[in-house]
């Protein structure tokens, strides 16, 4: 075989691809528990900012079929619907079936990206209002990272407030940098129109603002700190994304303010989604 035919054969050999494969473009590690990454967006993939999609890697071989089984998990798309790549913000669970492996992906690797985004954290599931609240704990900020960059959000609301609570300061860094970029980037600040307010807190490490989202709402601290009126069902709309206990507790608080839970099929004053399954 000549050198030329060897090269031709190498080139024509099909590159093994996963079903619904998407190529990893960039990976950023925020600390030993959190990372974010971007993948190439399939041209056919349409979604509404705030939706989630199933992603994963090939898992172990199924002994019955002898074929590897996809290992998939729900992930909020953290990039806005207009962006040409898809961004994800992920936990690293050291013994987690998916993230114990996913945390090691590198640019050029492939992940599985199922093509059907869904979810309730979408603007369409809310009645019109003046002020929109994003309530998040931990990686629950991911759907809001998408919505915070969506022009529709700022066209429909006069003020958008992100409350994000984590145990430690380093867990806030992804959100802090994103808000900073939105405020300083020429194109993103035009979308945001100066309407985004950011209220990060920690619960287990000293920080200038501390306390659970729920406690800061119940005590009225957040309204005092931001110099705004309390939540009112006439004007305020909410989106919630955190652990199950957080979601339950904040729903009771929002119900107490007179807001009602809505859905895609029946828009009301607030919507909720789990950030993970316990
Ligand atoms: C609608 C929806 C959207 C989601 N979006 C995201 C997202 O954008 N980013 C993300 O990292 N995860 C998200 N998750 C969680 C995700 O589906 C997986 O659970 C996570 O990637 C861990 O997978 P695993 O296989 O390693 O461990 P799993 O077996 O899935 O989880 C093991 C345990 O780890 C803990 N855990 C799992 N996920 C998290 C988390 N995100 N934060 C804190 N603790 C967690 C829980 O205690 C869970 O029981 C979402 C889940 C749902 C239901
Ligand atoms: N974050 C870490 O440093 C860490 C380290 C090792 C293991 N883990 C494990 O990872 C899993 C997820 O941890 P996580 O920190 O990402 O998420 P998490 O436990 O959901 O906590 C994230 C934030 O939500 C707050 N919160 C929890 N329940 C709430 C409720 N009912 N109402 C209002 N606020 C609430 C927490 O406050 P509180 O602090 O007051 O609970 C914390 O500030 C847990 O099983 C944990 O044991 C976490």
247 lines ligand 2 (CB under 6 A): no
Closest CA to 238 of 224, 221, 249, 254: 254
- Which residue's alpha carbon is nearest to atom 11 within ligand 1? 90
In this predicted structure, the answer to whether residue 149 has a pLDDT above a threshold of 60 is yes
Mutate to test the pocket of ligand 2, among 204, 242, 250, 276 (most ligand atoms within 8 A of CB): 242
Q: What does the pLDDT look like over 208-247, one tens digit per residue?
A: 999 999 999 999 999 999 999 999 999 999 999 999 999 9
What SS3 state is found at 29?
A: strand
Question: In testing the pocket of ligand 1, which one of 91, 94, 117, 274 has its CB within 8 Å of the most ligand atoms?
Answer: 91
138 pocket-lining for ligand 1 (C-beta < 6 Å): yes
- The string of pLDDT tens digits covering residues 176-208 is 999 999 999 999 999 999 999 999 999 999 999
Nearest CA to ligand 1 atom 15: 276
* pTM of the complete model: 0.94
DSSP letters of 105-160? --TT-EEEE-S--B-S-SGGGB---SEEEEEEEGGGGHHHHHHTT-HHHHHH-SEE
Residues paired with 196 in a beta bridge: 160
91 has pLDDT over 90? yes
Q: Which residue has the tokens 């806030």?
A: 172
276 lines ligand 1 (CB under 6 A): yes
Residue nearest to atom 6 of ligand 1 (CA): 75
For ligand 1, whether the C-beta of 49 sits within 6 Å is no
Nearest residue to 269 (alpha-carbon basis) of 177, 161, 76, 131: 131
Cα angle: 149, vertex 24, 240; to 5 degrees? 35
Residue among 229, 239, 199 at smallest CA distance from 50: 239
Q: Is the CB of 215 inside a 6 Å radius of any atom of ligand 2?
A: no
Can you tell me which atom of ligand 1 is nearest the CA of 93? Answer: 26
Alpha-carbon distance of 36 to 107, in angstroms, equals 12
Residue-averaged pLDDT of the chain? 94
Residues sharing a CB contact under 8 Å with residue 61, sequence separation 6 or more, in sequence order = 67, 68, 69
CB-based burial of residue 143 (10 Å sphere; 0-12 exposed, 13-18 middle, 19+ buried)? buried
User: Is it the case that residue 14 has pLDDT exceeding 70?
Assistant: no
Contact 89 CB / ligand 1 (< 6 Å): yes
């Amino acid at each position: 075989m000549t050198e030329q035919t060897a090269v031709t054969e190498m080139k024509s050999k099909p590159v093994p691809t996963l079903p619904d494969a998407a190529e990893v473009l960039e990976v950023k590690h925020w600390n030993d528990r959190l990372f974010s990454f971007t993948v190439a967006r399939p041209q056919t993939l349409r979604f509404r900012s705030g939706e989630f999609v199933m992603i994963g890697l090939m898992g172990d071989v199924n002994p019955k079929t002898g074929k590897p089984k996809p290992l998939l998990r729900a992930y909020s798309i953290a990039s806005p619907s207009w962006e040409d790549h898809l961004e994800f913000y992920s936990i690293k669970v050291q013994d987690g079936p998916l993230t114990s492996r996913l945390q090691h992906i590198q640019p050029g690797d492939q992940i599985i990206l199922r093509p059907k985004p869904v979810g309730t954290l979408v603007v369409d599931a809310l009645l019109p209002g003046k002020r929109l609240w994003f309530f998040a704990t931990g990686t629950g900020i991911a759907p809001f990272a998408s919505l915070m960059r969506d022009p529709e959000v700022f066209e429909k609301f006069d003020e958008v407030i992100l409350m994000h609570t984590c145990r430690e300061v380093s867990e806030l860094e992804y959100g802090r940098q994103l808000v900073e970029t939105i405020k300083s980037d020429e194109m993103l600040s035009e979308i945001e129109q100066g309407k985004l307010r950011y209220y990060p807190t920690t619960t287990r490490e000293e920080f200038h603002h501390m306390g659970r989202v729920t406690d800061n709402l119940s005590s009225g601290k957040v309204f005092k700190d931001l110099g705004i009126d309390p939540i009112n069902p006439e004007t305020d709309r909410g989106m919630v994304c955190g652990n199950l206990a957080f979601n339950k507790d904040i729903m009771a608080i929002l119900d107490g303010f007179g807001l009602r839970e809505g859905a895609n099929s029946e828009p009301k004053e607030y919507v909720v989604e789990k950030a993970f399954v316990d």
